[in-house]
Homo-oligomer: A and B are copies of this chain.
Amino acid sequence: MAKILTGKEVIDSLNEELRERSKALEEGGVTPTLGIVRLGERPDDMAYERGALKRAENTGVSVQQFVFDQDMTQDELLDEIDKINNDDSIHGVLMFRPLPPQIDDETVRNALAPEKDVDGITDMSMAGVYAGSDTGFPPCTAEACIQILDYYDVDLKGKNVAVIGRSQVIGKPVAMMLIGKNATVTVCHTKTEDMADICHNKDIIIAAAGHQGTVTEDFLSPDQTVIDVAINFDDDGNMCGDVDFPAAENIVDAITPVPGGVGTVTTSMLMKHVIEAAEKANK
């Protein structure tokens, strides 16, 4: 049976480290603070926000909520972002998207100061991931994959990795980060032919397609580590990933569960970035 790479173990270890770093900041008179920008009351946003509030509390991060009417104009939102950019007491910003239709996504996300872009939504953060530099921050979910591999001592150097998915928030950044860690990376997507064949002989599979049943038995082989990034819901409304977990469990060496895997680590990455931003701002 495969080893189950639970997120909880990663988080427990990480949160302890983060609490210490928060404490050190507090002792220097700095409270690491996350600003949450939300327009309206979308249930998905509210659920993620509740999780973030709890994780913030657990890691010594303070949260300031900026809740606006979903009918606000783009100029009003840009004014608010400008105020937040200039507020030294806020170190990082989580802004819920998609934004309502009267607001241009590209303009607004790039208005955020890269040094406060703890969720990796600005073009400058993208360029940072791409170049392997420390401009901005990588998207939290992409970094959560790396954090899990790191925590469980999965060696990346010279290893063959298939990344399934080419989105800006997961597929592309995780591929870039893996290349930076000396893995040989193949990016697969909806137009890939013989994907099972390509994945079958890889050491590691990062599944971020966002479709239940993407990774079937024929993708899998012993000695593989599988990171299932997706959050899908099956016909019965149960949360599931991209991978046929029952099949995988009997074949591969190690796999992250859904739920309880990558998703849970993502929120801790956000807190890690807030603390890093606070540390950088007060060096």
Specify which of B129, B158, B168, B187 is in contact with A192 (CB 8 Å cutoff).
B158
Contact B179 A189 (CB under 8 A): yes
Q: Mark A152-191, 1 if CB is under 8 A from B, else 0.
A: 0000011010000010100010011001001011111101
Q: Does A124 reach chain B (CB closer than 8 Å)?
A: yes
What residues of B have a CB within 8 angstroms of the CB of A130 in the complex? 126-127, 129-130, 168, 172
Closest to A114 in B: B123
- Is the CB of A193 closer than 8 A to any CB of chain B? yes
> For the complex, what is the distance from the CA of A189 to the CA of B185, rounded to whole Å?
10
Q: Which residues of the other chain, B, contact A239 by a CB distance below 8 angstroms? A: none
Minimum distance in angstroms from A161 CB to a CB of chain B: 10
Given A166-B179, A179-B166, verify A186-B184 contact (CB < 8 Å). yes
B187 touches A184 (CB 8 A): yes
The size bracket of the interface on A is 20 to 34
Known: A123-B135, A130-B127, A130-B130. A191 touches B182 (CB 8 A): yes
Question: Given known contacts A130-B172, A184-B189, A186-B186, what 7 new A-B pairs fall within 8 Å (CB)?
Answer: A124-B124, A157-B191, A158-B193, A175-B187, A179-B189, A182-B191, A184-B193
10 nearest A-B pairs in the assembled complex, by CB-CB distance? A123-B127, A182-B191, A186-B186, A184-B192, A127-B127, A158-B193, A126-B127, A130-B130, A158-B191, A126-B130
A and B contact pairs by CB, cutoff 8 A, 20 listed: A106-B133, A123-B123, A123-B124, A123-B128, A123-B131, A124-B127, A126-B126, A126-B130, A127-B130, A129-B130, A130-B130, A130-B168, A158-B191, A158-B192, A160-B193, A160-B198, A172-B176, A172-B179, A179-B189, A185-B187
